[in-house]
Copies of this chain bind each other. A is one copy, B any other.
């Protein structure tokens, strides 16, 4: 777990690929399993009025890894502890797992969703230091996605919700064919994949990455 976080941090500020005109350098990041919490669940898990404690910044402006973590209990009564919370708080709580994590916990058919699209997804028991929350839904595998600014989207000729391809070179050599485009004025170009995807393509072994339509 510590190793995963170390790897994530290490990858976070590694520029990959090269700049092109008004497009930022392509930064591909590994997103380890984590949780987003809503105000109401935060109150239960960490006590009424508790706030997330800043630990380190994430690539996208305003996002951060919090010092707080929780324990998730899956349908097989197996647990993953030290599930890190990412801030800021959101309207809905959500847990993002790789399939490897999901299978271990007993989620055999975890839906692949974009962040925030949690309707009809499985729930889980979440244990914090001050209380327990039963999430009715919100456990997903996050679909691989590319954050970008409107200018970057224009450069690639893509629109919100379209799919692009990400080729990762190196010894494994994998192309992800369904990279979801997420455009926001506050975003900088970067790609989020989960630990299964990063491990499958050996992301730590190569700087040869290419995003294309």
Q: A103-B7, A104-B3 are in contact. Are A200 and B178 (CB under 8 A)?
A: no
Copies of this chain held together in the complex: 2
**Residue numbers in B under 8 Å from A177 (CB-CB):** 167, 173-175
- Give CA–CA (A202, B108) in the complex, Å: 11
Interface size of A as a range: 20 to 34
**Residue numbers in B under 8 Å from A205 (CB-CB):** 112
**Residue numbers in B under 8 Å from A197 (CB-CB):** 174, 200
**Residue numbers in B under 8 Å from A200 (CB-CB):** 99, 174, 196-197, 199-201
A residues 156-204 near B (Cβ < 8 Å) are: 163, 167, 171-178, 195-197, 199-202
- Give CA–CA (A108, B6) in the complex, Å: 11
B176 & A174 in contact (Cβ 8 Å cutoff)? yes
- Give CA–CA (A195, B106) in the complex, Å: 16
B196 & A103 in contact (Cβ 8 Å cutoff)? no
A178, closest chain B residue (CB)? B173
Q: A3-B106, A106-B3, A108-B3 are in contact. Are A99 and B175 (CB under 8 A)?
A: no
A60 on the B face (CB < 8 A): no
A130 on the B face (CB < 8 A): no
Bitwise interface map of A from 67 to 103 toward B, beta carbon under 8 Å scored 1, else 0: 0000000000000000000000000000000111001
Q: Which 10 A-B pairs have the closest CB atoms?
A: A200-B200, A99-B199, A173-B178, A173-B177, A196-B199, A175-B175, A197-B200, A196-B200, A112-B171, A3-B103
Chain A residues near B (Cβ < 8 Å): 3-4, 7, 98-100, 103-104, 106, 108, 112, 143-144, 163, 167, 171-178, 195-197, 199-202, 205
